[in-house]
Structure 1
Amino acid sequence: MRLRPFTVDVLLALGQVALLLLIGPEAAAVGWDDLDARGYALALLVIAPTVVRTKAPLAVCLVTYAFWATYVAVGYWPVVTSFGPIICLYTVALQCRTRTVGFCAGLIAAIWILGSLVSQDHASVPSVAAQAIGINAMVWRMGYLARRSAELARKTRAEQHERARHAVVEERGRIARELHDVVAHHMSVISVQAGLAKFVFDSDAKTARAALGTISGTSTEALEEMRRMLRVLRAREDDGEVPDAPMPGLARIEDMTDRVRAGGVPVEFRVTGTPRPIAPGVELCAYRVVQEALTNVLKHARHASATVELHYHRDHIEVSVTDNGEGVIPDRVRSGGGHGLIGMRERAKLYGGTISIGPRSAGGFAVRLTLPTSARAAPPGDDVTE
């Protein structure tokens, strides 16, 4: 159970009262005046302000020192009431600036030395002074370290909160990119095929049925990918659940080109080099970039033909999507303001790849992606070119 600061202060004050009652009667045995009613009253005045020490540390410290100096000057035993002033010095060191702490430490040392002078045992002054300096320096240091620890703890909590917030933002961005890639591509194909089916519904039943078949297959695949994403999001790390549907990869690029071809855009797919296993994240990155590039062809260069090329190299792969459209590429695509193009860049950066997006000199548009064959952190420097 954690106690409130005020409760702790009250308990410390009661502890000082108990100490006063316990060792106060021993004053005469060590050569000091007996504590009479005035002595006990002054002692209680020294103790009382410490109840609110955390609310006004400097003010409480000065008031406590004033009462303690009076108590000592009258000739009473300082040890009986020394605990309260030491607590006040610690509190000031915990909450105030170094200059203020030094001033308070000097005051308490002076009162300590005053007690040895009042006792008329001048031979003990050097010893008392050394004790005052040593003990108060130790209390000062403890308060300083506690303050630094508290500041570090606050900074650590703030950093943890910021990291958690950043992780949430990144995860939201990842989910948004996945949703965009799944929905935009499949809906583009479905929209094109639906328009085609509507156009030829009465005149060409065979073409209409083919378009409806493409719509059915595309919508089924979109639902499968959405379900896979939801299973990933719902799965807990400790329950060992793994989505049963595989993540899209390089092997499914050909199916995607067939789907786009059915949508009315001639697409040629070529593979060079020797296919081999690639890190799943890299495969997904390449798949999504091709998906987004073909989606843009469907949206903005419907009368063009496209070429998708996949090159396997020794330590990296290259994927390119080019079209020969005279294409109307909206300003947002040219300037890189579209969410899809932002997603391409983020994916390439995440897997340490490079990507080039822009119009071709011979006409049309091109997207070229280079990825290492194993996932790694993005290297420093620019990784995206236009």
Structure 2
Amino acid sequence: MGVDHRGAADGRRVFPRRRDDLLIALGCAAADVASFLAADHDRGPRAIVLALLLLVAGGAATIGRRRYPVQVLLAVAASYLALVVTVPPTTYNFGLSITVGLYSVARYRPPRVVAVAGAATWASQVAGSVRIGWSLPTAMLTYLLAICVASAAGIGVRRWRDQVEQNRQLLADRAVTEERRRIARELHDIVAHHITTMYLLSGGARATLAHDPQTARGALVTLESSGRTALHEMRQLLCVLRGTDVAEEAPAEPQPGIEQIDRLITESRAAGLPVEYEELGEPRALPPATALTLYRIVQEALTNARKHAGDARAFVRLEYGSDRVVVEICDDGDGGAPTMPGGGYGLLGMRERVAVHGGTLEAGRRPGGGYRVVALVPLLPMEPGEDRNPDERGRIPDHRAARG
């Protein structure tokens, strides 16, 4: 039986608000009572008790200021008018309860309501002060200033909170957009790699089926494995796109990483692209996101080589450094790979992946022919040791340019 955690979360958010409202109400009542007692000493005990009850009632009314701000302001103003009529004080001031009521109306209600509430409060306060002997101009100016300050504070806080909410929504929308872009890159990598591999394997199997059934059978087995892998990876991404809170029946398999590069090379060789693999430096554990980025770069580069390099060989080199890891993929073909920096969705996806980790990616034709992709991803420094990347700019020399 499912448990609704949203109700508990809402309760945790509501309780601090109620506590704060209670503290504010107590503070308003205490401040108004203290102000009255400090200024009024020539009334009888009965009058003082009545005045205190009215002031406490006005302060207690502010506890409902969030849900009923207009009604709270009316209740506070009524208690002040009742105080002036029944127990005229020797002095009359703009109490804290009135200030909180005006602030609440400005905070939670539209400008038209704020203007009407402010005008009504101003009129009632001026009438009360005139009754106890204030001059009309002084009362009008004093309470106009006080009402404007309280209302301006409420309006300012409301606009600030609205801006905060808008910023929060923008951040949420941006996060959704980034996740969609990530999923789009993943889908592009999966489809481009596996479909290209399956296309080449099926063509090779058809060409060799008559005179070399054993080789054709091996190609079909590899084709089946590639299709199964593609289906599984796409199913994982579609589960993310569903956006459901229902738990999966089986946990998702971990994302591919450096260990799976051998599988990519095997598939490329089976599809007709000879690949040489070289690993330099001292291997080290990589963060999962970094390992996935390197895997996808190798996957995309080998896919492009199979598409565009023609009759060629490919070379993959993975080099570990003390504070970086570099992967280089090049071929010696003469096909029409993209030549513009960032051209094509594949190169754009690779650049975005590397940029997320603060790295760099270079892609372009090699001087001796073919195409070269090299990605540098920074890592947290290891123990002091030999630096295997002497180029200060982080560029990796094309050691295989002569092979072209």
TM-score range, shorter chain: 0.5 to 0.7
Deviations 1:275-302 (A, max 9, x none): 1211111111111001000010111113
Alignment of 1:87-236 (within 5 A): 115=130, 125=135, 129=138, 134-230=142-238
Q: Does 1:336 align with 2:374?
A: no
Counterpart of 1:320 in 2: which secondary structure? strand
Q: Which amino acid aligns with 1:354?
A: T
**Match of residue 367 from structure 2:** 361
How far off is 1:30 after superposition? 8.9
Alignment of 1:32-43 (within 5 A): none
Residue 300 of structure 1, aligned match among 259, 283, 308? 308
Contact 1:250/1:287, CA 8 A, preserved across alignment:
yes
Contact 1:318/1:371, CA 8 A, preserved across alignment:
yes
Residue 85 of structure 1, aligned match among 123, 130, 146? 123
**How far apart, CA to CA, are the structure 2 residues paired with 1:153 and 1:193?**
60
Contact 2:342/2:351, CA 8 A, preserved across alignment:
no
Contact 1:315/1:373, CA 8 A, preserved across alignment:
yes
Counterpart of 1:270 in 2: which secondary structure? strand
Percent of residue pairs bearing the same amino acid type: 32
**Match of residue 264 from structure 1:** 272
How far off is 1:192 after superposition? 0.6
Contact 1:357/1:366, CA 8 A, preserved across alignment:
yes
How far off is 1:203 after superposition? 3.5
Q: Does 1:273 align with 2:281?
A: yes
Residue 334 of structure 2, aligned match among 326, 334, 341? 326
Provide the alpha-carbon RMSD of the alignment.
4.2
Q: Does 1:309 align with 2:317?
A: yes
Contact 1:278/1:374, CA 8 A, preserved across alignment:
no
Q: Does 1:282 align with 2:290?
A: yes
Segment drifting more, 334-343 vs 265-274: 334-343
**How far apart, CA to CA, are the structure 2 residues paired with 1:239 and 1:26?**
67
**How far apart, CA to CA, are the structure 1 residues paired with 2:354 and 2:112?**
55
Residues 53 and 345 (structure 1), Cα distance of their counterparts in 2 relative to 1, 3 Å cut: closer
How far off is 1:156 after superposition? 0.8
**How far apart, CA to CA, are the structure 1 residues paired with 2:229 and 2:297?**
18
Contact 1:353/1:383, CA 8 A, preserved across alignment:
no
Counterpart of 2:112 in 1: which secondary structure? coil
Deviations 1:297-339 (A, max 9, x none): 1111131111001111122111000011111225xx5352311
Residues 58 and 301 (structure 1), Cα distance of their counterparts in 2 relative to 1, 3 Å cut: same
Deviations 1:53-108 (A, max 9, x none): 9537668977x6xxxxxxxxxxxxxxxxxx45369xxxxxxxxxxxxxxxxxxxx7
Residues 150 and 327 (structure 1), Cα distance of their counterparts in 2 relative to 1, 3 Å cut: same
Residues 203 and 225 (structure 1), Cα distance of their counterparts in 2 relative to 1, 3 Å cut: same
Residue 376 of structure 2, aligned match among 349, 364, 370? 370
How far off is 1:134 after superposition? 4.9
Counterpart of 1:318 in 2: which secondary structure? strand
Residues 57 and 250 (structure 1), Cα distance of their counterparts in 2 relative to 1, 3 Å cut: closer
Segment drifting more, 315-324 vs 131-140: 131-140
Q: Which amino acid aligns with 1:85?
A: A
**How far apart, CA to CA, are the structure 2 residues paired with 1:235 and 1:54?**
40
How far off is 1:147 after superposition? 0.9
Residue 350 of structure 1, aligned match among 346, 349, 356? 356
**How far apart, CA to CA, are the structure 1 residues paired with 2:346 and 2:215?**
31
Counterpart of 1:55 in 2: which secondary structure? helix
Q: Which amino acid aligns with 1:359?
A: R
Residues 383 and 156 (structure 1), Cα distance of their counterparts in 2 relative to 1, 3 Å cut: farther
Q: Which amino acid aligns with 1:337?
A: G
Residues 205 and 150 (structure 1), Cα distance of their counterparts in 2 relative to 1, 3 Å cut: same
Gap regions ≥5 residues in structure 1: 32-51, 65-82, 88-107, 376-381
